[in-house]
């Protein structure tokens, strides 16, 4: 579905409407929606993905902030087909769509570039309620999400998302697939929650603080960035070189540091925690 001429994309909402039918088909094929699933679309916009998702599912949830677009969607779809949750996805409680013990939800969306990182962190907090999430994002952000240790793209976003999810880059989406066309390349990424008990931090709030500190000053070594948490004897006990930079540590190593600082003492091995999901 192409962007209707009567609706002007709003920069404050980061609106770029997907319009290429081939890309739309590829995304829907990657999501593989099935009847009976609880699936929520973030930012349906003019409904490019909404229509084929509803056709496959029968009913879809959507989170949208633009009242003009909400009015369009209400005109096009019956409540039995589409439930619209009006508001900011950054503040939406996705757990309301999946009460504890009553299955999981799936999440899809063309995430606004201007709030993509905080929105990803917000969504990560619902990992236990999700079966998978498939998003279109700025390619630069996706490369950070799936980055391996030791690469320039690897950072706080990489560690905290890979701690909770197995990540999979699927394919790129060129600017000309949108109206209006953005100035950047986009990519499709899939996130699947890790099984319970796999590389688990005993104190996730502490893990977040340690990771943030390690990447707060990327040029500095762990000896300096983590001096509030570890001394040289602690690095020795952990089997880590304090002269390394944060970008050299795997997700499992960050978890081991957090557990050590939390006095979990069960260090385990530093086996890779960055496996991919296709």
Domain boundaries, the chain: 11-193, 204-261
The secondary structure of 126-168 as a DSSP string is TGGGEEEEEEEEEHHHHHHHSPPTTSTT-SHHHHHHHHHEEEE
pLDDT in tens, the chain (278 residues): 333 445 444 444 445 789 899 999 999 999 999 999 999 999 998 899 999 999 999 999 999 999 999 999 999 999 999 999 999 999 999 999 987 667 899 999 998 888 899 999 999 999 999 999 999 999 999 999 999 999 999 999 999 999 999 999 999 999 999 988 888 899 999 999 998 888 899 999 999 999 999 999 989 999 999 999 999 999 999 999 999 999 999 999 999 999 999 984 444 444 444 445 54
pLDDT at 269: 42
The yes/no answer on whether domain 11-193 falls in CATH 3.40.50.150 is yes
The yes/no answer on whether domain 204-261 falls in CATH 1.10.8.100 is yes
Radius of gyration of the chain (CA): 20
The reply to whether domains 11-193 and 204-261 share a CATH topology is: no
Q: Which helix (H) or strand (E) covers residue 29, if one does?
A: helix 21-31
């Amino acid at each position: 579905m192409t962007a209707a001429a009567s609706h002007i994309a709003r920069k404050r909402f980061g609106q770029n409407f997907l319009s290429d039918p081939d890309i739309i088909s590829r995304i829907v094929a990657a999501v593989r929606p099935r009847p009976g699933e609880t699936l929520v679309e973030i930012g349906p916009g003019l409904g490019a993905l909404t229509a084929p998702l509803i056709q496959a599912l029968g009913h879809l949830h959507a989170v949208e902030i633009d009242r003009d677009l909400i009015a369009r969607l209400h005109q096009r779809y019956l409540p039995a087909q589409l439930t619209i949750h009006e508001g900011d996805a950054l503040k939406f409680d996705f757990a309301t769509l999946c009460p504890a013990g009553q299955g999981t939800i799936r999440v899809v969306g063309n995430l606004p570039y201007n709030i993509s990182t905080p929105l990803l962190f917000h969504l990560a907090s619902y990992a236990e309620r999700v079966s998978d999430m498939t998003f279109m994002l700025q390619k630069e952000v996706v490369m950070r999400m799936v980055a391996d240790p030791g690469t320039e793209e690897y950072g706080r976003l990489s560690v905290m998302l890979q701690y909770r999810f197995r990540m999979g880059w699927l394919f790129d989406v060129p600017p000309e697939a949108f109206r209006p066309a953005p100035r950047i390349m986009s990519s499709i990424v899939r996130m699947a929650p890790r099984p319970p008990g796999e590389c688990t931090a005993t104190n996730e709030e502490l893990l977040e603080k340690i990771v943030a500190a390690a990447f707060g000053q990327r040029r500095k070594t762990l000896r300096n960035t983590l001096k509030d948490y570890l001394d040289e004897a602690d690095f020795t006990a952990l089997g880590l070189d304090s002269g390394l930079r944060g970008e050299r540590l795997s997700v499992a190593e960050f978890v081991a540091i957090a557990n050590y600082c939390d006095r979990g003492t069960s260090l385990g091995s530093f086996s890779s925690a960055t496996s991919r999901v296709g």
